[in-house]
Structure 1
Amino acid sequence: MKMMIMQGKIWDRVFEVESKYEPKGPIGKGAYGVVYSCINTLTNEEVAIKKIKVGENPKEALKALRELRILRHVSHNHKNVIALKDVMIPSAKCKDVYLVFELMDADLDTFIRSSPPLPNYVVKYFMFQLLNGLNYLHTANIIHRDLKPGNLLVNAKRDLKICDFGLATTTTKGSSQTQLLATENLGTRGYKAPELLLNCFTYGPSIDVWSVGCIFAELLGGNRLFSAKDKAGQLIKIINILGTQNDSNLRFIPSCDWEAYRLLESQPYTPGIDFKLLFPNADPMGLDLLNKMLQFNPDKRITVAEALQHPYIPSMCNHRKSQPAPLPCHVDVEDSVGVHKIRKMIRDEMLLYRQDALR
């Protein structure tokens, strides 16, 4: 396979990609990879190439494996999920992974920060697309676990696509919960559901609904609704806005972080803040939907499918049927599996993707 090396001018990183891809420049940098804008010289199509560092870290390798496994199953099947267009088979050592995506103009975080207050019809359109894509993922038993504006890509037409599946997982078919421990490293604190902050041992797709509610509030107000420096501060911020939770709303946390639980109990009573005061120009039906998403108790949160039927979402949108989701795919591996085996699994996934692309 003919390869070329291009040197990143900003981060001084080396990219090794197929020679048909001509670099234009770096467009993003994440915790475990960088992204370049490129031209496919064979098709004259602009693409984004994401380099994921695997190295010797099994956690980083697992992120790459998760992303590949999920994208191989869901990419190209829904217009609100980012499309994986190509993969580049690495050497046997597989220390870097290169994924080729459709090129979008910016992430939603950049869009929010660079725009004046968004009109209601734009917020509605973004919310419909986000819920539509997430409903497709949840139907496939996939929980994203890291939804935030930075992981939502948009273009000049305001099309929105969900991306970055490095922390995603799958639930067992027919089950609404996963047994994985919700550690502090899971997700981004400002969008993290209470059950994750409380380190609950079980959680389900409702954690994504909470994140969507946080994104919704950010679209309405231009800033994060819940923002704190640590887990304790985050919980206090949530209580200050949503109000003191009664016992029935705390029964879902019998096996959680008791220190955090006692923190909640020690807080003085607060009635919370009415969303109408926080977002005075918002559509009242939008605030009703926001309230249903940001329920402290996950059992009381609206589901994504229910949210799509909410009166806030334009009625014409409710008639746009999503394509059937593929069969669930298992993306996690046992903790005992070492990085070298995960690298082999990554390479196998890439070969399967190439085989599927040739059909």
Structure 2
Amino acid sequence: MLGFLLLLLNKRRKCVGKPVGACPCADPTCQVETVRGQSAHSGLKSSSAMQSPVSDSPVRPGFHRVEVQKTTWVVPDRYTTLWAIGSGAYGTVCSAIDQKTKEKVAIKKLYRPFQSLIHAKRAYRELRLLRHIQHDNVICLLNVFTPDSTLEKFQTFYMVMPFVAQDLGHIIKRKRLSDRIITYLFYQLLRGLKYIHSAGIIHRDLKPGNLAVSENCELKILDFGLARQTESEMTGYVVTRWYRAPEIIFNWMHYSQTVDVWSAACILAEMITGSVVFPGHDSIDQLKKILHLTGTPDTSLVQKMQSKDAQSFVKGLPPQKKRNFKEVFPAMSEKAVSLLEGMLLLDPEKRLTAKQGLAHPFLAEYHDPDSEPDSEPYDDSFESLELDVGEWKSLIHMEIMTFDPDNPGQTAV
């Protein structure tokens, strides 16, 4: 089985560093601020702690050991000046200086990636996705390594990605953005979504904290730990509640890329208004807040719901008509309201796609079909495989051993 999987691996490519464009705002006071100690990378909880050297058992040649926030990191000698910038449920992120390129990077260390079957498969999924991606508005993989010298000793690994100053969530909380910056950021978000959707990939966890923004207003989509391809059967509760599409709340088992479009629309509205659009206290309250704006589903949409419980619940709700979006969002331009209405449709089959959103008049200033590329085909046939933890570990180890940051297209297969 593992030998067969070797033939399915994609060729590696370097991350393209070209920016989409310069920040559209010439006024320095409108530029996005960078806050020391806050990072957009992976949408993790912010922290700040400098490294300290550690003396312990010998490490693999070419590596050195440091302690960051009482956690031991063993990294190649090329990465120095580690600084903890975030932590989350699945890993910790440090900034570092790559002495080879003289650039600042972000290094993600996964927490016990092989502690369970779920963790091992999630780690492999994220690694495969990051190796495939090559787009200005989506985070990519610069390097991946393990300090463990053999497969038998293999217990942890690190992924190196571009460092970006902070996430959109921090920015929204700190200041109100100009209309032009909002338009430019949202254009980049849809541009990135079009790319990953063209590969059949659904992000499934879009939120302001998973969108990195540089000082030049360049946006990158982060955190692909939950992403899957369209054809995969999916569990319902994966997106942070406030940005969750209604079909996920209705617990449809086969939803499409338009769940990301719904989340993107929530982010657009939040950038413009400065407030979360649907701040539900729980799933039921979330659904009620959505329906208060969109109105209750019609009969044809209710019949599409696979969950009988969801059908019964929605049928039991008092009928509500769709509200006037312009009255709900008086600060929005007519074009912004029009785009929002097309993206916040209850029926996912009628909702705008990312590609259609890019062509909307709201984004006319930046829309250029020739600079909005699709992805090369992405093979995620591994999703249907029934492997044990040891087999997933072997696949991850093989991915790491065949990755050459200087020649990412060269493989051992």
> Do they fold alike, i.e. is TM over 0.5?
yes
Letter in 2 for 1:137: I
Return the offset for 1:90. Answer: 4.6
Alignment correspondent of 1:220 = 272
Residues 179, 243 of structure 1: CA spacing in aligned structure 2 closer, same or farther, 3 A cutoff? same
Q: Secondary structure at the residue paired with 1:112?
A: helix
CA distance in 1, matches of 2:190, 2:184: 10
Letter in 1 for 2:408: A
Gapped runs of 5+ residues in structure 2? 1-60
**8 A contact 2:141–2:161 mirrored in 1:** yes
2:139 equivalent among 60, 77, 82: 82
Return the offset for 1:320. Answer: 4.5
Return the offset for 1:242. Answer: 1.4
2:391 equivalent among 341, 348, 354: 341
Residues 182, 98 of structure 1: CA spacing in aligned structure 2 closer, same or farther, 3 A cutoff? same
Alignment correspondent of 1:289 = 339
Task: Normalising by structure 1, report the TM-score.
Answer: 0.90
CA distance in 2, matches of 1:328, 1:68: 13
CA distance in 2, matches of 1:138, 1:22: 36
CA distance in 2, matches of 1:277, 1:31: 39
Structure 1, 127-136 or 199-208: larger mean CA deviation = 199-208
Alignment correspondent of 2:177 = 118
Letter in 2 for 1:196: I
**8 A contact 2:146–2:400 mirrored in 1:** yes
CA distance in 1, matches of 2:370, 2:166: 25
**8 A contact 1:151–1:163 mirrored in 2:** yes
Higher Rg: 2
Return the offset for 1:229. Answer: 2.9
**8 A contact 1:148–1:211 mirrored in 2:** yes
Structure 1, 262-271 or 234-243: larger mean CA deviation = 262-271
Residues 108, 320 of structure 1: CA spacing in aligned structure 2 closer, same or farther, 3 A cutoff? farther
Letter in 2 for 1:206: T
Alignment correspondent of 1:7 = 67
CA distance in 1, matches of 2:218, 2:323: 32
**8 A contact 2:201–2:227 mirrored in 1:** yes
CA distance in 1, matches of 2:325, 2:66: 49
CA distance in 2, matches of 1:147, 1:60: 20
Q: Secondary structure at the residue paired with 2:212?
A: strand
Residues 358, 297 of structure 1: CA spacing in aligned structure 2 closer, same or farther, 3 A cutoff? closer
Task: Normalising by structure 2, report the TM-score.
Answer: 0.79
Structure 1, 268-277 or 120-129: larger mean CA deviation = 268-277
CA RMSD of aligned residues (A): 1.9
What is the 5 A alignment of 1:11-90?
A: 12-53=70-111, 54-74=113-133, 77-90=134-147
Of all paired residues, the percent bearing the same amino acid is 34
CA distance in 2, matches of 1:159, 1:179: 31
**8 A contact 1:62–1:332 mirrored in 2:** no
Alignment correspondent of 1:103 = 163
Alignment correspondent of 2:186 = 127
Alignment correspondent of 1:151 = 210
Residues 94, 164 of structure 1: CA spacing in aligned structure 2 closer, same or farther, 3 A cutoff? farther
Return the offset for 1:319. Answer: 4.5
1:270 equivalent among 320, 343, 368: 320
Alignment correspondent of 2:254 = 202
CA distance in 1, matches of 2:242, 2:187: 22
